[in-house]
Structure 1
Amino acid sequence: MDQIWRFHSAEEADATMCLRSGSTSAADFYIDNGRLHTGTVDSVTESMVEAWKADLSRGDTSVMIAATRDQVTTLARAAQAWRISTGAVKMTTTSLADGSVVGIGDLVVTRRNDRENTYGRGDFVRNGDTWTVTAVDKTGALTLSREGTHDQVQVDAEYAAQHVDLGYAVTVHGSQGRTVDHAHLLINDTTGRDQAVRGAHARPR
C-alpha cells in the first residue's frame, strides 16, 4: 500500500502511513489526539465497551476490534450483557460457535460461506456478513436480518452452532471491509504492527 484513501484528514492519513512504516510519530499523533488509552486488561476492556455503548447511544454504528478470538468473545459478551439489560436482546437457549448463548435482537456474524442458502436477489450467506437475530425456533435455527437491508434468511441449528458468532466485536482480520462510524482497537504486547495497521484502517462511514 503506497496511497491513502477514505481519509478526510491529511494528518490522519499521514499517521496511518507512519504506523505502517514503524515510525513512532504515529503514536505521538494518536496520543496528542486522545486516541490512545492505557490501563490494565480489565480497565481497558471496560473502557472500550463504555466507548462502544456511547457510540450506540448517539445513534452511531460501532465495532470493537481485538487481536485474538478470546478477547473478541470477552468484548462481545460484555456488549451483549448491556443490550440484555436495556431490553434490546431477549435471551434464548441456543448456543453459537464462540460458546455464547444467542438472543433475539443480538448482532451476529456468519463465519462460513453457504452458497445453498440464498436470499434477496440471489445473494447467499457469506463469511463475515453481519446480521440481527429476529427469531429463534424450537430447533435452534436462527432467522437473520441482513445488516443495512430488509433481507432475511434462516440458518439451521447446526450452522449456528458451528459458524455463527456474536458480532459486537471482531478480530482485526474480520474487521476488513466492514463499514461503521466508529471502531475501537484493543492493543497489547502481543499485537503486531500489521494488526495495528489493519485495525487503524477500519473503514469509517
Structure 2
Amino acid sequence: MKTIEISKPLLSCQDTLGESPLWDHRRNALFWVDIDEGLIQSYQLSSQETETWAVSKNIGCIALHANGGFIVATESGLSYWDPETSCKNEFLSVKHSHPDNLFNDGKVDPFGRFWIGSKGPKGSSNLWMFQGNKLEVKINDLWISNGLDWAVNEGVFYHTDSGDKTIYRYDIDLKMAELSNRSCFFQPENGTPDGLTIDSDGNIWTAIWDG
C-alpha cells in the first residue's frame, strides 16, 4: 500500500464538515457539501472561482441527475436541486432507524442507482439504495457509513464503516444489486478510513482521517 501526504490543499474552504466531492463534467466543476452548515459548494476549474448555495438542512451527499441538476440527500429525505435556479423540491422522505441518524457519504453505481449511507449511534445506521422512486436498505447494523465504490470487472463492492475503522469487501451481483460474502479488506494502524474511490487503473484510494 502506498501512502500520499498532501501538504497543500486544492482549496482552503474552511468547511465545518466537508463531504461528498463530486466532479460535474457538464459544468467542468467540482461540487461538494458542508454537512453541518447545510451548504452545497462548487469550484470552477477554468476560472478557479467558488460558489456556495445554502440548503438550510444537513446534507450528506449529492449526485448528478439526468435532467441537469442534482439529487441531494438531506436530513429529511431526497430532493431535486437545480443550481441555475436554486430550486429545491423534496420528492422522497426517509424514516431512519434511529432519531439521531443522518445521511452521510453516497455515490451512484454503474446502473444509475444512488447508494447513500447514514451515520448515528453504533449499529443504528444503514446503507440505502435509491431506485425507482424508493429507498431500500442494502446493509444494516452500521455505525458511520462512508466511502464506497464498485470494482465492476471483479464483481466486488467496497464499503467503509468509519465507526469500525474498517473497509469491507463484498461480492456483488451488480445487475441485481445483491451483496454477499462480507470480509474485512483494510484496517489502518492509525487513523480512520473515510472517503473511498477506485481509479481507472483499478487502484483503490482511501482518505485516512487523522492518519
- Structure number having the greater helix percentage: 1
User: Normalised by the size of structure 1, how large is the TM-score?
Assistant: 0.31
